[in-house]
Amino acid sequence: MLCGSNIATQTQAGSSPTLVWLHGFLGEGNEWRAFASQLPEFSHLLVDLPGHGHSAQLSVDGFSAVEAALQATLAHYGISSYALIGYSLGGRVAMYHAAQHPKGLKALLVEGGNPGLKTQAERVARIENDARWAERFRQQPMLDVLQTWYRQPVFAELSEQERHRLVALRAAQNGEPLATMLESTSLGKQPLLTEPLKALAIPFVYLCGERDAKFQQLAAESDLPVRTITGAGHNAHRANPDEFVAQVRDFFTPLL
């Protein structure tokens, strides 16, 4: 089971689904708290994924194991009606979960999550690349790894100040469980989810920063129902939190 923080609100409509928040790689559930607090009309569950936060000691061996842990967590908190919000790795976990057609899922919002790779060559290359990063997380000082991690092309829009802030935020984590999670949920091991997503019978939206060229292209190629967040790159909710919250509220309000 995953660790999480359950936020019940006084103004919650009795029949509205709980919003379940899934963070990205290197994040933790509590980072969503400021966003959830601006949506008091819903109850919220802020989840720590395996290898992260209070779930750091939980080790999984693939997407099916993460899925089982998420299902057990929902059952533990008595959540039978819910919607998922997932960023990056959390978005991939959310899309995989939705593709299983769970009974209680009412809506899906993904920010910058990759629906999957199309060719075996791409999958092999990604597994090998993630294995190299995992070795760095195991062997090198966390500060050194993070400095390099946040200089990858997908984070090109970060200023030096923003990069420094993220490195400082993540630096206290343990590299070993992060490495295990990175290998276990490598994009190369994820099924291609494009067609299952198109077949969803629930509301689905894909948020993407307007400067996130890679994921803008992915959304277009995969024909995802994309909405753009202005003035933002891959980490759109941090770059433009006000518009992110507005988009989340606009999407989920019909569920009230």
- Helix, strand, or coil here: 29? helix
What pTM was computed for the model?
A: 0.95
- What's the confidence (pLDDT) of residue 70? 97
Query: Measuring CA to CA, how many Å separate 102 from each of 137, 237, 250?
Result: 34, 26, 23
What the block records as the tokens of 230 is: 């202005």
pLDDT for residue 10: 43
Residue 175 neighbours by CB under 8 Å, 6+ apart: 137, 138, 139, 140, 142, 145
Q: What pLDDT is recorded for position 9? A: 57
For residue 76, the model assigns a pLDDT of: 94
What integer pLDDT is reported at residue 4 of this predicted model?
Answer: 84
pLDDT number for residue 2: 93
**Tell me, what's the pLDDT at 16?**
86
pLDDT value for 153: 92
CA distance 192 to 171: 32
Residue 14 has what pLDDT? 58
d(C-alpha 15, C-alpha 256), whole Å:
7
Residues in the chain predicted with pLDDT less than 70, given as ranges, are 8-14
Q: What angle do CA 98, 166, 64 make, to 5 degrees?
A: 25
